[in-house]
């Protein structure tokens, strides 16, 4: 193995990130290997490192700086990690590969155009395009219907439809699996699917049906004795307003008492620059372009504590969907 370990500040940053990506059994040993027994943290600082730091955000920052300033040493660090903790090294390499910054415009651009998803209404906005952007209801199909089904043959629940650009213009139809056995936040799993029209087939099998399971909401029906709620079909249309994102989100420096916060606001949107709740995450494979983001509860379906949903599209017209929680 060639190369030397980076200076202490970078070693500490790398250890800070890696220790949170490891298992409970390898964390303490790993941080001592990388820092040395004399520099390994003790007491409250150690507890902070092991339990509180956002691993993906820290890893993304320190590894980017490490690779830029100490490329040979970074390669050596990976080699040493691969020898001493192979499973952790594999996880880290996968993480770094999906942390590559990807926007819809060159990084040199000051702003990236986006469409803000604003008011939810029961009726389509007067200037709505076809198909209208909406959550709930039933799909307004472009072309032949293709309803995704799970491996057990059960159709997924229609979540919503959003325009995702392209020439000709494309619409992404979002579906989620309501089964407890298949519930998943990961992209390209049985937990969700995106059908892009016009475009390619989704990763799940489909059936040629235009209707299927849909979202419902609970509506209270007060009567003389008790308050009852009954499920009624949910459908809300979305107003779309032009806006812009910075080409890159900026973050404050990390430290023991710092928790990363963006320097700009974010929101429900189509296009723009993605700002991930738990750190950068893209579907497996190459060529994915960030397409949209929205709050799960805002759109009509709660998926966890403050869940944010992210959609992606490739040039071949395939789509993917995932979400992250606080």
- Give DSSP secondary structure letters for 189-247: STTEEEEEESS---SS-EES-S---B-EEEEEEE-SS-EEEEEEE-EEEEEEEEEEEES
How many CA atoms are closer than 13 Å to the CA of 150, on its beta-carbon side? 20
Domain check: are 119 and 264 in the same one? yes
**Domain termination site, one of 76, 98, 120:** 98
Same domain (yes/no): 43, 174: no
Residue 214 Cα distances to 127, 171, 299, angstroms: 25, 18, 13
d(CA 317, CA 202): 9
C-alpha distance from residue 14 to each of 9, 51, 73 (Å): 9, 16, 12
CB atoms within 10 A of CB 182: 17
* Same structural domain, 177 and 91: no
Provide the token pair at 206.
């489909």
Alpha carbon distance 325, 305 (integer Å): 5
How confident is the model at residue 252, as a pLDDT? Answer: 39
> CA Rg, the chain, in Å?
23
Are 210 and 290 contained in the same domain? yes
Q: How do the pLDDT tens digits run along the chain, 326 residues long?
A: 234 444 444 454 455 455 444 554 455 555 555 545 554 555 544 544 444 444 444 444 445 555 555 566 556 666 665 666 666 566 555 544 444 344 455 444 577 888 999 889 999 988 888 999 999 999 999 999 999 999 999 999 999 999 998 888 999 999 999 876 667 888 999 999 999 999 989 999 999 999 999 999 877 776 656 666 678 899 999 999 998 887 766 543 333 333 344 434 468 999 988 888 777 889 998 899 999 999 998 998 877 777 899 999 999 999 999 998 86
Q: Choose among 65, 61, 86: nearest CA to 74.
A: 65
Q: How far apart are CA 215 and CA 234, in angstroms?
A: 5
- Tell me the CATH number at 133: 2.30.320
CB contact at 8 A, 70 and 28: no
The pTM of the whole model exceeds 0.75: no
The number of CA neighbours under 13 Å toward the Cβ of 243 is 19
CB 111 within 8 A of CB 245: yes
Residue 66 lies in a domain: yes
Q: Specify the DSSP class assigned to residue 214.
A: B
- Asked if 145 and 268 sit in the same domain, the reply is yes
Residues 64 and 124 in one domain: no
Residues 66 and 150 in one domain: no
Looking only at Cα atoms, what is the longest distance across the chain? Answer: 80
Q: How much is the pLDDT for 40?
A: 52
* Cα separation, 20 vs 27, whole angstroms: 7
In a domain, 105, yes or no: no
223 domain-assigned = yes
Please check whether residue 86 lies inside any domain of the structure: yes
- Domain boundary residue, one of 98, 131, 148: 98
On whether both 92 and 239 belong to a single domain, the answer is no
* Structural domain boundaries, residue 120: 111-324
47 shares its domain with 120: no
| One domain for residues 147 and 238 | yes
3-class DSSP state of 229 = strand
Q: Does a structural domain hold residue 239?
A: yes
Which letter does DSSP use for residue 7 in this model? Answer: P
**Based on the domain organization, do 250 and 295 belong to the same domain?**
yes
CA atoms of 224 and 279, how far apart (whole Å): 50
Position 25 in a domain? yes
| Number of Cβ atoms within 10 Å of the Cβ of 151 | 9
Residue 30 is predicted with a pLDDT of 53
Considering the domain architecture, whether residues 318 and 251 belong to the same structural domain is answered as yes
- Cβ atoms of residues 264 and 274 within 8 Å: no
Reported as a single tens digit per residue, the pLDDT across 258-272 is 334 443 446 899 998
Nearest alpha carbon to residue 113 among 241, 239, 238, 245: 245
Asked which of 41, 69, 98 is the last residue of a domain, the reply is 98
Report the alpha-carbon distance of residue 196 to residue 135 in Å, rounded.
16
Q: What's the total number of domains in the chain?
A: 2
Q: Residue count of the chain, please give it.
A: 326
């Amino acid at each position: 193995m060639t190369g030397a370990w980076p200076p202490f500040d970078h070693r500490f940053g790398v250890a800070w990130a890696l220790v949170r990506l490891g298992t409970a059994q390898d964390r303490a040993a790993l941080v001592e290997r990388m820092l040395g027994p004399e520099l390994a943290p003790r007491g409250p600082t150690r507890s902070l490192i092991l339990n509180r730091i956002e691993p993906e955000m820290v890893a993304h920052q320190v590894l980017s700086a490490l690779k830029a300033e100490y490329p040979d040493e970074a390669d050596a660090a990976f080699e040493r990690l691969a020898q001493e903790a192979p499973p952790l090294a594999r996880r880290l390499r996968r993480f770094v590969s999906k942390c590559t910054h990807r926007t819809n415009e060159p990084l040199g651009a000051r702003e990236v155009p986006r469409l803000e998803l604003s008011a939810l209404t029961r009726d389509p906005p007067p200037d709505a395009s076809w198909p209208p952007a909406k959550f709930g209801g039933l799909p307004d199909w472009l072309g032949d219907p293709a309803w995704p089904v799970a491996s057990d043959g059960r159709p997924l629940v229609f979540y919503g439809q959003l325009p995702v650009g392209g020439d000709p213009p494309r619409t992404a139809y979002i579906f989620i699996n309501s089964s407890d056995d298949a519930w998943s936040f990961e992209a390209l799993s049985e937990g969700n699917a995106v059908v892009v029209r016009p475009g390619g087939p989704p990763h799940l099998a489909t059936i040629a049906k235009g209707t299927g399971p849909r979202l419902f909401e609970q509506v209270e029906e007060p009567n003389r004795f008790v308050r009852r709620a009954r499920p009624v079909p949910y459908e809300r249309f979305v107003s779309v307003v032009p806006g812009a994102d910075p080409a890159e989100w900026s973050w404050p420096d990390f430290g023991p008492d710092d928790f990363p916060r963006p320097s700009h606001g974010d929101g429900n949107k189509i296009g723009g620059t993605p700002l991930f709740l738990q750190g950068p995450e893209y579907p497996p494979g190459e060529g994915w372009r960030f397409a949209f983001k929205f709050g799960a509860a805002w759109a009509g379906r709660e998926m966890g504590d403050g869940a944010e949903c992210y959609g992606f599209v490739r040039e071949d017209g395939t789509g993917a969907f995932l979400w992250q929680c606080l």
